[in-house]
Homo-oligomer: A and B are copies of this chain.
Amino acid sequence: MTADATRARQRLFVRDPITADSEIELAPEQSHYLEHVMRLKPGTPVKIFNGLDGEWLGTISELRKKKGSVTAERQLRAQGNEVGPTLVFAPIKKQRLDFLIEKAVELGAQSLQPVITQHGITDKVRLDRLQAQVIEAAEQCERLTVPEVCEPVRLLDWVANLPENHHLLFCDETGSGSPIGEVLSQLLAKGAGSFIDNTNVVNHAIVIGPEGGFSADELERIRKQPFATPVSLGPRILRAETAAIAALTVFQDRIGDWSHRPVARD
């Protein structure tokens, strides 16, 4: 009997390699959630992905006492090339950070880099929490990858240790930059958008300051980078999480993957 993909309501990120007929182990929390919150039974069709082998249809083969597994059946989507920008952000208050993280995943950020800034309100980031949120958002928004969550570092250390092929778009609320859309379209015209064709010429990083803005020292050091471009995000004062969401959106619209259509929905 073949599972019906239209009945697979749950989409699960798994750690194991996925091949036809392989038995994929679920994490204890995942199993608990499926059994006790969603009240699913063995035999239920689900979709699984691991960031490497595309999306597969499978059925739950075991689900009992925080132990669960899925038997992979057939591939629904091949692993595409999901290359998005890195989002570099200063930690903000909990509820707003939760929102920022969820939206960054939906908007295709490839990795999330928390940075400690001179005017930031907090240096604390719970990476395990971020990691769980990122997985949940990726499951929800039909991504085939889960963004990498990096260890927090000082902004200036991060800038100083940047690999050569990185380009920084830093959202400068003092208004020194040109509008972000114009900057990105000019970059695209120069060929810097070609990373979306898998040539990986340039890795873009979008840098968002804390609510208090970058310090004068930070601004000066970032501006000195050969591959940093200040951008502005319009005439209004945006909160940090709005700036992050808006910058990622314009990025995807202007030089990212928004020329692609959505995956078919059941």
Docked pose: A221 CA to B91 CA in angstroms: 44
Given the complex, which residues of B lie within 8 Å of A121, measured CB to CB? none
Q: Which residue of A106, A233, A237, A249 has the most chain B CB atoms within 10 A of its CB atom?
A: A249
A152 within 8 A of B: no
Contacts of A170-218 to chain B: CB distance below 8 A: 173-175, 179-182, 213
> Which one, B174, B235, B258, contacts A233 given CB within 8 A?
B258
Kindly report which residue of chain B lies nearest to residue A233, judged by CB atoms.
Answer: B258
A263 within 8 A of B: yes
Kindly report which residue of chain B lies nearest to residue A262, judged by CB atoms.
Answer: B175
A260 within 8 A of B: yes
Given the complex, which residues of B lie within 8 Å of A86, measured CB to CB? none
Contact: A175 with B242, CB < 8 Å? Answer: no
Given the complex, which residues of B lie within 8 Å of A238, measured CB to CB? 106-107, 141
Kindly report which residue of chain B lies nearest to residue A138, judged by CB atoms.
Answer: B236
Contacts of A243-266 to chain B: CB distance below 8 A: 245-246, 249-250, 252-254, 256-265
Contact: B246 with A234, CB < 8 Å? Answer: no
A142 within 8 A of B: yes
Docked pose: A215 CA to B254 CA in angstroms: 30
A140 within 8 A of B: yes
Given the complex, which residues of B lie within 8 Å of A235, measured CB to CB? 142, 257-258, 260-263
Given the complex, which residues of B lie within 8 Å of A261, measured CB to CB? 175, 232, 235
A103 within 8 A of B: yes
Contacts of A81-113 to chain B: CB distance below 8 A: 95, 99, 102-103, 106-108
Shortest Cβ gap from A255 to chain B (Å): 10
Docked pose: A234 CA to B257 CA in angstroms: 7
Contact: B141 with A181, CB < 8 Å? Answer: no
A143 within 8 A of B: yes
Kindly report which residue of chain B lies nearest to residue A238, judged by CB atoms.
Answer: B106
Given the complex, which residues of B lie within 8 Å of A102, measured CB to CB? 239
Docked pose: A143 CA to B179 CA in angstroms: 18
A residues in contact (CB < 8 Å) with B: 95, 99, 102-103, 106-108, 140-143, 173-175, 179-182, 213, 232-239, 242, 245-246, 249-250, 252-254, 256-265
